[in-house]
Every structure is written in structure tokens, then in C-alpha cells.
A = this chain, B = another copy of it.
């Protein structure tokens, strides 16, 4: 039994570090966070921290992967619900309640920073690509299903509409990150974009 309890304990400790580190990244941003900040916030020793994560980049990637897994799991559970494809698409964009006032991911500005400052690094670019390759089919598959069921018009390519959704969400995340909160009126913008999509999908 002992090894298993130990393994669970180690996993729990790793999860705790990631959870506290997420708060640290939200507070300081990616560039201005150091492993020392994470050690101080978690109370874990230097050796303890490096046992789990070889670098700040490695730690941040672990958090990104965890977020992406949660996103995919949430999507898969949404896809099992019945209802219109339009409603499903709105839930994918806005979150479970399909309302545009859903809070933005508080880690989003740090994620932007991670990808923007590391854009000339091959590893970082590959990582951004992998993320896009997971996100795009989430949107384009729902649009395709809606087109096949006759709920949506076939006028536009499902993948291109999926790309435009990611572009718009990213543009909002960027505006919210670099301008005073609410300044770009994200709710109204999402409502207008939903209307653009409605027209393009023939709803």
C-alpha cells in the first residue's frame, strides 16, 4: 500500500503547487514571476519545487496543459447534452451559461505574455500551434454538425468560421489585458459577434 499512498501524496502536492503558482502568475504576470516567488507562496523548498518542475517555463506549461485538458473535458461533456448546435456554440464561446458576461480567464493575460514574448522560440511556437490544433476542431466540429443537421447554412466553410471565433476571442482577451478593464466593452462586442455568426450561419 505504501507506494500508492505516496504516489497520491506526490500528485496532490504537485497539484497544490500548480494551484498556488497559478495565483502567483495571475498576480505578477509570466515574465515578472520567478521560481523564488513560487517557493515563497507555496512554502515548498527549492529542492521540493525543482523535483516537480525543472523551470518556470516547465511549470507554466504544466498549468497550460491542465487548463487545456479541462477545456476539452468541459467541451466533451457539453457535446453530450442535447439541444441546438447554436446553443452549444454559444456555450463553447461563453461558458456553461451561454451568456456574454462570463468572466474572462484571469490567467489569460499571462498566457498572452508567455506566447508573445516567446514568439521567436521554436519550442514556444510549437506549443502555441499544438494548442491551436486542439482548440480549432472544438469549434469547427460543432459548426459542421450543425451544417449537416440543416440547422446552419452551408454558405461558409466550418473551419474558417471556427478560426474567426478564435481570432475574435483572442482579440478580446488582448484588449482586456492591455486596456483598463471593461474599456473595450467585451460584453457588447461578444453580442455583436454572435449576431455576425447568426447571419453567417443563416439563423
Q: Is A185 engaged at the interface, CB distance under 8 Å to the other chain?
A: yes
Tell me how far the C-beta of A28 lies from the nearest C-beta in chain B, rounded to whole angstroms.
8
Asked whether A167 and B184 contact (CB < 8 A) given A119-B109, A178-B116, A179-B129, the answer is yes
Tell me how far the C-beta of A88 lies from the nearest C-beta in chain B, rounded to whole angstroms.
20
Asked whether A184 and B199 contact (CB < 8 A) given A116-B109, A168-B171, A179-B132, the answer is no
* Chain A residues with a Cβ closer than 8 Å to the other chain, count: 45
B178 touches A164 (CB 8 A): no
B113 touches A117 (CB 8 A): yes
Which of B31, B168, B169 is the one whose CB lies under 8 Å from A117?
Answer: B31
A185 and chain B: residue at smallest CB distance: B163
Contact with B along A18-62 (1 / 0, CB 8 A): 000000000001010000000000000000000000000000000
Q: Is A10 engaged at the interface, CB distance under 8 Å to the other chain?
A: no
A164 touches B183 (CB 8 A): no
Q: Is A180 engaged at the interface, CB distance under 8 Å to the other chain?
A: yes
Tell me how far the C-beta of A139 lies from the nearest C-beta in chain B, rounded to whole angstroms.
13
Contact with B along A121-153 (1 / 0, CB 8 A): 000110011001000000000000000000000
What are 25 sample pairs from A and B whose C-beta atoms fall under 8 A apart?
A29-B120, A31-B31, A109-B116, A113-B116, A116-B116, A116-B178, A119-B178, A124-B178, A125-B179, A128-B179, A163-B185, A164-B192, A164-B193, A166-B171, A166-B184, A167-B171, A167-B175, A167-B189, A169-B171, A170-B170, A170-B171, A174-B174, A192-B200, A196-B196, A199-B200
